[in-house]
Structure 1
Amino acid sequence: MRTWEREGYTVVEKEFDYDLHEFEVVKGEEVVATITPSDIENMNEIIEALDAGEDVNGWEDGSGNTISVK
């Protein structure tokens, strides 16, 4: 599992459902959001975006909520 460092928070990849992983957005010691991809293709798109340095603010968490890390 991988971790991506951003200014003010960290994104941590976690096992979720067999090959499908979810991503916890952690600020300090608190999980402020969990991004749950709908399928493997969506999960790979999330990983590519994180690898490219994208910020998760404004992303949808998979449950219809917009992520805002303040």
Structure 2
Amino acid sequence: MKAWAREGYQVVEIPFDHDLHQFMVVQDGEAVHAITPWDFDTQDRIIADLNAGADVNGWEDGMGNTISI
């Protein structure tokens, strides 16, 4: 599992449902959002965006909520 540091928060990849992973947004040591991909293509896109330095503000969490840090 991997973690991506951003200014003021980090995103931590955790096991979720077999090979599908969830991405926890952690701010000040507390999980404030969970990004839950609905399939492997979405999971791969999330990882690629995070690897490219994307900020998660404005992303949908997979449950219809918008992330605001």
Pairwise TM-score range, normalised by the shorter structure: over 0.9
Q: Which residue of 2 aligns with 1:25?
A: 25
Counterparts of 2:47 and 2:29, CA distance in 1: 22
Q: How does 1:1-70 map to 2 (within 5 A)?
A: 1-69=1-69
TM-fit CA distance, 1:64: 0.3
What SS does structure 1 have at the residue aligned with 2:64? Answer: coil
- Partner of 1:57, secondary structure, is coil
- Does the residue aligned with 1:63 lie in a helix, a strand or coil? coil
User: What is the aligned residue count?
Assistant: 69
CA distance in 2, matches of 1:56, 1:62: 12
The one-letter code of the counterpart of 2:14 is K
Q: CA deviation at 1:52?
A: 0.2
- SS of equivalent residue, structure 1 residue 50: helix
Task: State the distance in 1 between where 2:33 and 2:56 align.
Answer: 10
TM-score, normalising length from structure 1? 0.97
After TM superposition, give the deviation of residue 68 of structure 1 in Å. Answer: 0.3
Q: Which 4+ residue blocks in structure 1 deviate beyond 4 angstroms?
A: none
Pairwise CA distance, 1:29: 1.2
Paired residue type of 2:15 = E
